[in-house]
Amino acid sequence: MFDLDEIYRRVQRANEQAAQTMQELKEKAEQAAPKEPEPAREEKTREDDGRRLEILGQEITPEQLAQMAEDQARLRESIQLQVAAAAAEGVQSLLQATGSEEMGLLVSALETLMLEEDEGEEDEETFEPETEEQLCALLEETMARIEALPEPDPVFYDQRDPRWQRFGVLLSGLVSTLNGHRLDGIEVEQHLPVLEQQVASLVRRSWGIGGRGELLEMIRYLSQEGYQLRYQMYAQAQDPGELMEDGDDAEERENIARTWRFVQRYRQQYGPAFLTGWDVGRAAMLARWGCYLGWITESEATGVLHHLSQRAQEELCSWRQFARSYLFGGLMWKLLCGDNPSSVSSYLGYLADAASRLIAGQEPGGEWGAFPWPARRKIGF
């Protein structure tokens, strides 16, 4: 987390015109926690998007609660002024003015607001056959780059080995990295009201999950059916029409046909089990989010993560393969949702960058590279 006073000082150095507003806010609440712009969605309906969730905040005293609403509104207005100024000057000049060690928070605000602006002004893009070819080529190039990264050899874990719990947490690594979550335990963030509100909003808006029952049902679906079953259905269909229902509109039918072509392209190369990483990684993140929000107990979350860990070990053999599975499943999901090609390309880029940090040990990151994948149990003597 970043200290709020540091936010003010960095913005002030970037744009002296905002100094008066920031000083007034500092005098009113030195430790007020701002409500950041809404994070970009991981899912349109019940799935997960690869955009960053920028979460900022710190301890809020009881005396400050009454002032929070006004403070947050004024801070949002101040940040928006800084974004406008930065857009006029260019981001590079802003970074030079603030210094590399101080740029993190301002870049976060810029990225979040720019993403929202880009979404609102997005040009309508259409899928053409060559576009599908380009996305598949991008997927293959990205997966090859991930496969080339070095990682430790798998290590055998006894069933009672405490490292299984750590492994289960790390299965959420891609979504956690994209959202800036902690990876040192089941808890994703500190228990502060502003953070809890943002995580709850993310789960409700991105997944359509509003409580314990829906959370457990989605985890059950991902761990028992998920995209493994969907991929199998698309692979076995002789024609995309077999997958369509009477109520599907023209756009939905086009998305189904596009996804069917994608699966048919790869069905000889990858079986349904290859989608394990995509299903398990998101289920692990949901278990951690549910525990953080109090929808399931820590014991329940630990049990879910252990079950997911066993599935991941049985079907996959390395963090590289896990990351490739997530990229593959992510592209299939994006095609089925009908997202435009630019959005799909950006999403794959976010995932690839996160996987590289987790495997290769780039700062911050390296959690996967420092924790060997559990080796499969040897059969026979």
pLDDT beyond 70 at 262: yes
pLDDT beyond 90 at 75: no
Integer distance in angstroms from the first to the last C-alpha of the chain? 51
| pLDDT given for residue 74 in this prediction | 52
The strand pairing partners of 155, in sequence order, are 374
Confirm whether 379 is domain-assigned. no
Beta-carbon contacts of residue 105 (< 8 Å; ≥ 6 apart): 2, 6, 7, 10, 56
pLDDT beyond 60 at 260: yes
* Domain shared by 68 and 154, yes or no: no
* Domain shared by 135 and 102, yes or no: no
* Domain shared by 97 and 146, yes or no: no
The mean pLDDT of 259-273, rounded to a whole number, is 97
Confirm whether 374 is domain-assigned. no
| pLDDT given for residue 280 in this prediction | 98
CA–CA gap between residue 137 and residue 126 (Å, rounded)? 18
Instruction: Show the domain range for 349.
Output: 129-360
* Domain shared by 330 and 187, yes or no: yes
CA–CA gap between residue 338 and residue 177 (Å, rounded)? 25
Residue-wise over 6-40: b if at least 16 C-beta within 10 A, else e? ebbbbbbbbbeebeebbeebbeebeebbbbbbebb
pLDDT beyond 60 at 6: no
| pLDDT given for residue 57 in this prediction | 33
* Domain shared by 295 and 262, yes or no: yes
* Domain shared by 205 and 352, yes or no: yes
User: How confident is residue 376, by pLDDT bands cut at 50, 70 and 90?
Assistant: confident
Give the count of beta carbons closer than 10 Å to the beta carbon of residue 191: 10
User: How confident is residue 361, by pLDDT bands cut at 50, 70 and 90?
Assistant: confident
User: Which of 70, 98, 120 finishes a domain?
Assistant: 120
Q: What does the pLDDT look like over 147-181, one tens digit per residue?
A: 999 999 999 998 889 999 999 999 999 999 999 99
pLDDT beyond 50 at 120: no
* Domain shared by 67 and 199, yes or no: no
| pLDDT given for residue 139 in this prediction | 97
The mean pLDDT of 70-76, rounded to a whole number, is 51
* Domain shared by 107 and 225, yes or no: no
User: How many structural domains is the chain composed of?
Assistant: 2
Confirm whether 68 is domain-assigned. yes
User: How confident is residue 314, by pLDDT bands cut at 50, 70 and 90?
Assistant: very high
The strand pairing partners of 374, in sequence order, are 155
- The model's pTM is 0.69
User: Which of 120, 142, 165 finishes a domain?
Assistant: 120
State the average pLDDT for the chain. 76
Contacts made by residues 113-119, CB under 8 angstroms, sequence distance 24+: 113/37, 113/79, 113/80, 113/83, 114/83, 115/40, 115/51, 116/37, 116/38, 116/40, 119/40
Confirm whether 74 is domain-assigned. yes
What's the chain look like in SS3? CCCHHHHHHHHHHHCHHHHHHHHHHHHHCCCCCCCCCCCCCCCCCCCCCCCCCCCCCCCCCHHHHHHHHHHHHHHHHHHHHHHHHHHHHCHHHHHHHHCHHHCHHHHHHHHHHHHHHHHHCCCCCCCCHHHHHHHHHHHHHHHHHHHCCCCCCCECCCCCCCHHHHHHHHCCHHHHHHHCCCCCCCCCCCCCHHHHHHHHHHHHHHHCCCCHHHHHHHHHHHHHCHHHHHHHHHHHCCCHHHHCCCCCCHHHHHHHHHHHHHHHHHCCCCCHHHHHHHHHHHHHHHHHHHHHCCCCCHHHHHHHHHHHHHHHHHHCCCHHHHHHHHHHHHHHHHHHHCCCHHHHHHHHHHHHHHHHHHHHCCCCCCCCCCCCCECCCCCCC
Confirm whether 375 is domain-assigned. no
Confirm whether 184 is domain-assigned. yes
| pLDDT given for residue 11 in this prediction | 38
* Domain shared by 137 and 113, yes or no: no
User: How confident is residue 258, by pLDDT bands cut at 50, 70 and 90?
Assistant: very high
* Domain shared by 177 and 108, yes or no: no
Question: Which range (76-85, 246-255, 353-362) has the least confidence?
Answer: 76-85
pLDDT beyond 50 at 36: no
Query: Do the beta carbons of residue 326 and residue 146 sit within 8 Å?
Result: no
Confirm whether 365 is domain-assigned. no
| pLDDT given for residue 91 in this prediction | 35
* Domain shared by 31 and 144, yes or no: no
Percent of the chain topping pLDDT 90 = 60
* Domain shared by 312 and 206, yes or no: yes
- Measure Cα distances from 240 to 253, 257, 260 in Å: 8, 5, 6
CA–CA gap between residue 293 and residue 288 (Å, rounded)? 9
Confirm whether 154 is domain-assigned. yes
User: How confident is residue 130, by pLDDT bands cut at 50, 70 and 90?
Assistant: confident
Question: Which range (35-49, 180-194, 206-220, 264-278) has the least confidence?
Answer: 35-49
